[in-house]
Amino acid sequence: MAKKSLLVDILHRRCGEGTPLAGVIPGCISTVDQYQGQQNDFIILSLVRTKFIGYLRDIRRLIVAVSRARLGLYIFCRQSLFNNCHDLHNVMVQFASKPNKLELVIGEHFPTERNVFSNVHSIQKVVSDDVTILGSIVHELQQKLIGTSQSEIT
């Protein structure tokens, strides 16, 4: 619950009224236990832990967490921690076969006109090896939005 409260607070500060990203707050922020029985097109799942897996060692909770996305599931976690958990071995083997880098296409907006089979040139995309790169991209986009909104005022 503490992580959920922190995420809600951060999103309201960065995406709330009076900010450059106003109005782009996700439709739902929930804990795994609260989300059972629900679905969404895209899910960002934070499994960030410090030393212990905790309640996610219960495979039923993990199944609920990873089975609710219709179009895209993005998981943030320390993969080595979960790889070392015997109870989750089969799930982690399946995850290991999937891409584990976030790729962002520069200048693309939702909904995109590009289809799944379109080739994206490497110059148009950024591959994020860790969350610091993602943070710098978000910061850069915010700065561009601030510049755009200030030029509209003058």
> 50 in a domain, yes or no?
no
> 75 in a domain, yes or no?
no
User: What would the pLDDT profile of 2-33 be if each residue is shown by its tens digit?
Assistant: 777 887 787 777 777 766 666 666 777 777 77
The predicted model gives 117-132 an average pLDDT of 75
Q: What single letter denotes the amino acid at residue 134? A: L
Number of H helices, E strands in the chain: 6, 4
The Cα 87–Cα 84 span in angstroms is 9
> 137 in a domain, yes or no?
yes
Question: What DSSP assignment string belongs to 66-78?
Answer: HS-EEEEEEEES-
> 116 in a domain, yes or no?
yes
Q: What single letter denotes the amino acid at residue 13? A: R
The Cα 108–Cα 130 span in angstroms is 21
Q: Which structural domain, as residue segments, surrounds residue 110? A: 101-154
The predicted model gives 112-116 an average pLDDT of 79
Q: How confident is the model at residue 122 (pLDDT cuts 50, 70, 90)?
A: low
Outline where 36-76 has alpha helix (H): 59-66
> 133 in a domain, yes or no?
yes
> 3 in a domain, yes or no?
no
Amino acid 23: pLDDT: 65
> 135 in a domain, yes or no?
yes
Backbone torsion region of residue 71, taken as left when φ is above 0, otherwise alpha when ψ lies between -120 and 50, otherwise beta: alpha
Q: What single letter denotes the amino acid at residue 22? A: A
The Cα 54–Cα 81 span in angstroms is 11
Amino acid 123: pLDDT: 62
Cα diameter, the chain = 60
Amino acid 49: pLDDT: 65
The predicted model gives 81-85 an average pLDDT of 83
> 52 in a domain, yes or no?
no
| pLDDT over threshold 60, residue 152 | no
The Cα 25–Cα 23 span in angstroms is 6
Q: In terms of Cα–Cα distance, which of 61, 59, 68 is closest to 92?
A: 59
